[in-house]
């Protein structure tokens, strides 16, 4: 009779061990998703703004490890949300004099008119990716010129580096 008491717990333990091991599933980590995507204020291919107004950029990328924006020395970063139709944006200026931001979204206040105002984007990604977008409007062809930002493998990192050209006018007249 003693043997049956010993065999039952051993049998039960063995049965539970087999059930546990047979039910264990291997956990498969989902593949990471990497996608480069940027949006900006203007809907049109031509990126235009005017002095004492702001222009926004936003990095909507998936899988970006870091984002960096560089603006001209005569422009300022603004902190949003920013009300529409302001005559003066000074109350929204952050870090005056700084030309680099690591924020995903930036708002750039222009203080000087220049048809060649440059805003540089630099993103670091875990894998290669690219982004097609309308770079400018070709009036002769009547269509938008499509440009591509592609990551390049530099020192073991996938880097996207692109400079946007913004036409900043003293005033825009329809």
Q: What is the mean pLDDT of residues 130-159?
A: 90
Instruction: Tell me 62's DSSP state.
Output: B
pLDDT of residue 153: 95
d(CA 133, CA 4): 77
Banded pLDDT at 160 (limits 50, 70, 90): very high
In 3D space, the residue among 121, 134, 114 whose CA is nearest the CA of residue 50 turns out to be: 114
Name residues whose C-beta falls within 8 Å of residue 140's C-beta, 6 or more positions apart in sequence: none
In 3D space, the residue among 146, 75, 84, 145 whose CA is nearest the CA of residue 116 turns out to be: 75
d(CA 10, CA 16): 10
pLDDT of residue 4: 54
pLDDT of residue 134: 85
Banded pLDDT at 24 (limits 50, 70, 90): low
Q: What is the mean pLDDT of residues 22-28?
A: 61
**pLDDT tens for each residue of 93-143:** 998 989 999 999 999 999 998 888 999 999 999 999 999 988 878 889 888
pLDDT of residue 84: 80
Instruction: Tell me 92's DSSP state.
Output: G
Cα 93 to Cα 32, 52, 55, 72, 80: the distances in Å are: 36, 12, 13, 15, 9
**pLDDT tens for each residue of 60-75:** 999 899 999 999 999 9
d(CA 54, CA 78): 8
Instruction: List Cβ<8 Å contacts ≥24 apart for 146-155.
Output: 149/36, 149/38, 149/121, 151/36, 151/123, 151/125, 151/127, 153/128
173 has pLDDT over 80: no
154 has pLDDT over 90: yes
pLDDT of residue 51: 87
Q: Which of the pair, 86 or 9, is modelled with greater confidence?
A: 86
Q: Which of the pair, 84 or 1, is modelled with greater confidence?
A: 84
Mean pLDDT of the chain: 84
């Amino acid at each position: 009779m003693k043997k049956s008491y010993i065999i039952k717990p051993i049998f039960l333990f063995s049965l539970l061990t087999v059930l546990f091991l047979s039910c264990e599933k291997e956990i498969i980590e989902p593949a990471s998703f990497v996608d480069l995507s940027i949006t900006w204020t203007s809907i049109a291919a031509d990126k235009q703004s005017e002095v004492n107004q702001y222009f926004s950029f936003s990095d909507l990328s998936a899988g970006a490890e870091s984002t960096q924006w560089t603006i001209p020395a005569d422009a300022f970063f603004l902190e949003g949300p920013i009300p529409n139709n302001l005559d003066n944006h000074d109350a929204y200026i952050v870090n005056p004099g700084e030309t680099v931001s690591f924020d995903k979204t930036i708002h750039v206040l222009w203080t000087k008119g220049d048809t060649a105002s440059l805003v540089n984007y630099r993103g670091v990604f875990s894998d290669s990716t690219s982004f097609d977008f309308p770079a400018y409007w070709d009036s002769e062809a009547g269509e938008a010129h499509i440009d591509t930002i592609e990551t390049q493998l530099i020192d073991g990192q996938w880097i996207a580096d692109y400079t946007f050209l913004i036409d900043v006018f003293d005033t825009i007249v329809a």
